[in-house]
């Protein structure tokens, strides 16, 4: 019997903030899989800030999401049928299945994962792309030494939460920046950071100064704008900045800095990076991260939206900061 598939396509490019009607839900039939192909049933879809960038037409490191096509997205799922010798029915697989319930693939970019030691959804978060992003930016660009201070913005999110926990494992002081007292409390009490500063609260800059008494040696930047200006003002000489994301500017393209003076006077090394440029390091990073997870040295949170219908609303919520930890959709 034919399988019905529900898919979200990009209806039109957003103007400013994303709206639910920028997407359209379509119902189609899953095409039969041919020799060499694999039919996957998606169990979790990952919703990530990079998708906002793809919805625009601006030149970037990746091609824009085509209008009328299924939205791009990372997924973890179960193989239902396989005509490909690398996969068998029942395998748990991670891939770029997109915003849909089923997909057929030739297996390129599909990876079999072990869902016994680490729960399958974690392969989209702490033991997946966001975790590798944290690992790469911190260890390869930040290169913190024990005793140094690591500051990370969007600290309660998928990437930021891992950055701070890895920094603690490396013997550093970990300070987060997050929106609101509940998130800050989670970052300190559950994730084990030494401090977390609420950027939405009055007196943010003073609080940041108080919580970074020895300055900042490594800044892992996820936000940009006023948060980045404040963070740069705390940098120590010869500090390193891993420029990972600029989410505060994704809707209105407001990417400007108050001043680049701190970069010069403190002789900072600032490096932007895109985690998919470093695929050769993913297996090593995932092995390390999964090891930390299995041994209980890294913890994580997920915000799980129910059903494919909820994807646009959950995506918009994540961009507004309604998520704690990794934002997922459970099919």
Residues 22-51 that bind ligand NDP (CB under 6 A): 48-50
Q: Tell me if 130 contacts ligand NDP by CB under 6 A.
A: yes
Residues 65-124 that bind ligand NDP (CB under 6 A): none
Residues 211-230 that bind ligand NDP (CB under 6 A): 222-223, 227
- Residue of 201, 274, 283, 306 interacting with ligand NDP (CB under 6 A): 274
Q: Tell me if 160 contacts ligand NDP by CB under 6 A.
A: yes
- Residue of 97, 131, 157, 164 interacting with ligand NDP (CB under 6 A): 157
- Taking the complex as a whole, the smallest distance from the CB of residue 24 to ligand NDP amounts, in Å, to 24
For ligand NDP, the closer of residues 91 and 288 by Cβ is 288
- Taking the complex as a whole, the smallest distance from the CB of residue 74 to ligand NDP amounts, in Å, to 10
Q: What is the 3-state secondary structure (H, E, C) of the chain?
A: CCCEEEEEEECCCCCCCCCHHHEEEEEEECCCCCCCCEEEEEEEEECCCHHHHHCCCCCCCCCCCCCCCECCCCEEEEEEEECCCCCCCCCEEEECCCCECEEEECCCCCEECCCCCCCHHHHHCCCCHHHHHHHHHHHHHHCCCCCCEEEEECCCEHHHHHHHHHHHHCCCEEEEEECCHHHHHHHHHCCCCCEEEECCCCCHHHHHHHHCCCCEEEEEECCCHHHHHHHHCCEEEEEEEEECCCHHHCCCCCCCCCCCHHHHHCCCEEEECCHHHHHHHHHHHHHHHHHHHHCCCCCCCEEEEECHHHHHHHHHHHHCCCCCEEEEEEC
Task: Count interface residues toward ligand NDP (CB under 6 A).
Answer: 29
Q: Tell me if 142 contacts ligand NDP by CB under 6 A.
A: no
- Binding string, residues 280-309; x marks residues near ligand NDP by CB under 6 A: ------------------------------
Rule CB under 6 A: which residues touch ligand NDP? Answer: 48-50, 130, 133, 154, 156-160, 178-179, 183, 222-223, 227, 244-245, 247-248, 273-275, 318-319, 321, 323, 327
């Amino acid at each position: 019997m034919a399988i019905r598939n529900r898919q979200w396509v990009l209806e039109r490019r957003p103007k400013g903030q994303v709206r639910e009607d920028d997407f359209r839900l379509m119902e189609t039939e899953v095409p039969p899989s041919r020799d060499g192909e694999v039919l996957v049933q998606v169990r979790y879809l990952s919703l990530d800030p990079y998708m906002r960038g793809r919805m625009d037409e601006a030149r970037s490191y990746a091609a824009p999401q085509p209008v009328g096509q299924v939205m791009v997205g990372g997924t973890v799922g179960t193989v239902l049928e396989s005509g490909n010798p690398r996969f068998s029915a029942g395998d748990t697989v991670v891939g770029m299945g997109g915003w849909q319930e089923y997909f057929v693939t030739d297996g390129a970019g599909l990876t079999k994962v072990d869902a016994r030691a680490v729960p399958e959804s974690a392969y989209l978060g702490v033991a997946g792309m966001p975790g590798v992003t944290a690992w790469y930016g911190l260890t390869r660009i930040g290169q913190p030494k024990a005793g140094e201070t690591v500051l990370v913005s969007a600290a309660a999110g998928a990437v930021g939460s891992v950055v701070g926990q890895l920094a603690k494992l490396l013997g550093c002081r970990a300070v987060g920046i997050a929106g609101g007292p509940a998130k800050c409390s989670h970052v300190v009490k559950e994730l084990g950071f030494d401090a977390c500063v609420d950027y939405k609260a009055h007196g943010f800059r003073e609080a940041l100064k108080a919580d970074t008494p020895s300055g900042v040696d490594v800044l892992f930047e996820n936000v940009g704008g006023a948060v980045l200006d404040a963070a740069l003002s705390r940098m120590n000489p010869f500090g390193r900045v891993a420029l990972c994301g600029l989410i505060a500017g994704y809707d209105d393209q407001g990417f400007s800095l108050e001043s680049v003076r701190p970069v010069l006077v403190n002789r900072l090394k600032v490096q932007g990076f895109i985690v998919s440029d470093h695929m050769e390091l993913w297996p090593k990073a995932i092995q390390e991260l999964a090891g930390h997870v299995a041994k209980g040295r890294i913890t994580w949170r997920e915000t799980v939206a129910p059903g494919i219908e909820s994807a646009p609303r959950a995506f918009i919520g994540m961009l507004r900061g309604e998520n704690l930890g990794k934002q997922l959709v459970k099919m």
